[in-house]
Structure 1
């Protein structure tokens, strides 16, 4: 089963749940579907916001052990990574011609934490293999290589028994001020200042027409359109739109089937075009 969903720190700051009602409803339906599916483990494709990976940035990385950093009022926590299975996946990818990095004891941010909390209710409810895709630090992987990564993960999962939930998280159109800067070595305080100063302008950088085109390509599993939209995402839909690479990888890993859209809502208060889609 595949679930792709946007994430946003703004959603967690919205503690009174005033905004993004349509998206939240779609996310709730996705969670119900996940609970009914009851996976044996999860493969989670996520990006990084130049926090886990700063000086060395893998194009693709498989985590053999990982945790979630303290962030947005949440305490740090470990993830239940099935190390033997993750190691098998890493070896399979290398044998398939996908050059990946192996990560140990990596601390991941909300790109990984938020979908786990939103879709399963807790970080540790299911074993999870985090697969990082560079969506923030240029040069970025081309969309064709991201699809090849997803295809190779899919072949690996086809060789295993059990129910697997594949998650892609990020996007759609948005341009966070901190990601617009071509820099990596800034403090959390400086990051917060940059975001605060640029947040008003970022509210107007959502591109619903681009989002609609991307979601239609996801629905029809149109790989040619997905490649074209993703490779030009930065210029047409903002720096944060690069995260749709995780959607490409997840949908390919799930067999390349089209995904059913549960909700789309441009939420200016979260500076993001928010969407959630599932395979059936």
Structure 2
């Protein structure tokens, strides 16, 4: 019997790797990093065989020539390795991944895209680096479009998580499965709406997103300069309310937000909370536990870690 045994939500930032020494808020950064390691220990203790890894893509695997709402990696998976994150092939549980993709489509729930040669970036590899370090697990990568509007609605992401849960539990093999949602919380990136760029920097970004499939490295230096010049726009009040929903098992309430309202409240980078929502829905929205929340302006982001342990609520047999 296959069961989902743990859920983890965690923010990510490549600036952890590239600008740790320049980070002024060292205490906050250290507490967040410690929480990642604590979550990694919880994953190890749950003994998963496979991790369903839900993340975003920052225009290194998907480009404006093709942007699916949801994509499942069902074959090769290669991490781009930017900014000190893992690089190269990642181990995929192809049997489970293909079962999930097929179940979603054949059940009439989701016409998901799939990739037999998926490229991921730090939207997922940051989690591999910090949450799966040293663990012998395979992954089922799921990429959610959170940066190229029109975005999938939050309600649709919640429905995806529920459908993934059903598909995983219907898998005929024996698996212990953890689910990770990587991204968020509140932050604003200097990234334009690709449909209406305003000014030279925004036009550059859109051109990079359109043309960068085979040469994204050529655009990366200026891209990072633009990001590093951005001013932090963190909303701790939104983040606290979001984490309270996780703790109460009520993250489905976030579906009341439209894409526009979410950006107004917490920045365009907060669209990544869709990955947490998929994760929480896959865990049946049982109450979770906050391990850390730190506002780190140098990383532009409200950084959080939370875990959902369904066996504490009688959902998973010992």
TM value normalised by structure 1: 0.92
What is the number of equivalent residue pairs in this alignment? 277
1:166 aligns to 2:179 (yes or no): yes
1:37 aligns to 2:46 (yes or no): yes
In structure 1, runs of 5+ residues without a counterpart are none
Structure 1 segment 16-95 matched on structure 2, within 5 A: 16=21, 19=26, 20-54=29-63, 55-65=65-75, 66-74=77-85, 76-95=87-106
Residue in structure 2 matching 1:118, options 109, 115, 130: 130
Residue in structure 2 matching 1:138, options 145, 149, 167: 149
2:86, 2:166 → 1: CA distance? 36
Cα RMSD after superposing both structures: 2.0
1:250 aligns to 2:279 (yes or no): yes
C-alpha displacement of 1:188: 4.0
SS of the residue 1:72 aligns to: helix
C-alpha displacement of 1:258: 2.1
Contact 2:55 2:275 in 1 (8 A): yes
C-alpha displacement of 1:257: 1.1
SS of the residue 1:104 aligns to: strand
Q: 1:78 to 1:194 in 2, by over 3 A?
A: closer
Tell which structure's C-alpha radius of gyration is larger: 2
Contact 1:111 1:169 in 2 (8 A): yes
In structure 2, runs of 5+ residues without a counterpart are 1-5, 195-205, 310-318
TM value normalised by structure 2: 0.81
1:199 aligns to 2:209 (yes or no): no
C-alpha displacement of 1:181: 4.9
SS of the residue 1:173 aligns to: coil
